[in-house]
């Protein structure tokens, strides 16, 4: 089954409105006609302006986070309807920084994913083990627990629209990338788990790799059979760099 490659930029807490719009101006011509799905997740304040800059292009707007409740006394939070209103098609949920720095649980992440589907958006659900967990031989157990918890409320009929990002915590922002073999091993395990949970829809679910993806390593990672794209942090902040990742092909990585 062929899955369309999906490259998403996670800008984290980087870029003002002006910087986001300037990025779009430079980036869009570089990826026009690219044979891949592309999304950018800027910080909340830049969503509206970036959305306008991306309008009519082949690059979708994504959020980095969302709350599961429709409205109410949740200071500092943003609802799915607000994201839909500003033009988001996607939201990242369960990023390891949200899990570790802001105490997000699998249960909360599952509610966010369900809320996104209910609002007509699609989640990119992040999972990944820490270095200590990997070294203790617990990678698969950790991933299974995160998948079971975070995907507990995905409607079966929408499963094919789900995107998973496998992001080993030890590779995020460290410059230490998983080898293509390590990535494929984890992605294959995730695919097997998805098959048990969602049957044939698992073959349509894109599994992105994330963690120090760069123009130099993107092609070999995405050449793996179960690596269907990438979630890119640091290397997505420069238009030329992210464009090279979008356009990366095995044997033509630079
Ligand atoms: P990185 O971040 O590419 O800077 O390692 C990836 C991520 O956290 O999504």
Does residue 30 sit in helix, strand or coil? helix
Tell me, letter by letter, the H, E, C secondary structure of 84-127: HHCCCCEEEECCHHHHHHHCCCHHHHHHHHHHHHHCCCEEEEEE
Q: How confident is the model at residue 249 (pLDDT cuts 50, 70, 90)?
A: confident
The number of the ligand 1 atom at minimal distance from the alpha carbon of 214 is: 3
- Distance between CA atoms of 35 and 151, rounded to whole angstroms? 29
- Does 236 score more than 80 pLDDT? yes
167 lines ligand 1 (CB under 6 A): yes
Q: Pick the catalytic residue: 95, 97, 129, 161? A: 95
The sign of the dihedral angle between the CA atoms of 69, 48, 19, 218 is: positive
Residue 95 annotated in active site: yes
Rama region for 136: left / alpha / beta (φ>0; ψ in -120 to 50; rest): alpha
Q: What pLDDT is stored for residue 253 in this prediction?
A: 42
Q: Are the C-beta atoms of residues 244 and 215 closer than 8 Å to each other?
A: yes
pTM over 0.95: yes
Is-catalytic flag, 167? yes
């Amino acid at each position: 089954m062929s899955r369309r490659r999906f490259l998403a930029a996670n800008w984290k807490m980087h870029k003002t409105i002006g910087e986001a719009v300037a990025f779009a101006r430079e980036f869009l011509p570089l990826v026009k006609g690219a044979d891949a799905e592309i999304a950018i997740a800027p910080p909340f304040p830049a969503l509206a302006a970036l959305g306008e800059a991306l309008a009519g292009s082949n690059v979708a707007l994504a959020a980095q986070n969302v709350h599961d409740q429709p409205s109410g006394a949740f200071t500092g939070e943003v609802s799915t309807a607000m994201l839909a209103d500003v033009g988001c098609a996607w939201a990242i949920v369960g990023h390891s920084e949200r899990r570790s720095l802001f105490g997000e649980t699998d249960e909360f992440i599952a509610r966010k994913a369900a809320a996104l589907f209910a609002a007509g958006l699609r989640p990119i659900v992040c999972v990944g083990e820490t270095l200590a967990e990997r070294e203790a031989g617990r990678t698969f157990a950790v991933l299974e627990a995160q998948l079971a918890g975070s995907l507990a409320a995905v409607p079966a009929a929408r499963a094919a629209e789900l995107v998973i990002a496998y992001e080993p915590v030890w590779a995020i922002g460290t410059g230490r990338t998983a080898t293509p073999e390590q990535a494929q091993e984890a992605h294959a395990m995730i695919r097997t788990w998805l098959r048990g949970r969602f049957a044939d829809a698992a073959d349509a679910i894109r599994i992105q790799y994330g963690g120090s993806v760069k123009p130099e390593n993107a092609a070999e990672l995405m050449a793996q059979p179960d690596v269907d794209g990438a979630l890119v942090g640091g290397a997505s902040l420069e238009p030329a760099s992210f464009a090279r990742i979008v356009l990366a092909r095995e044997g033509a990585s630079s």
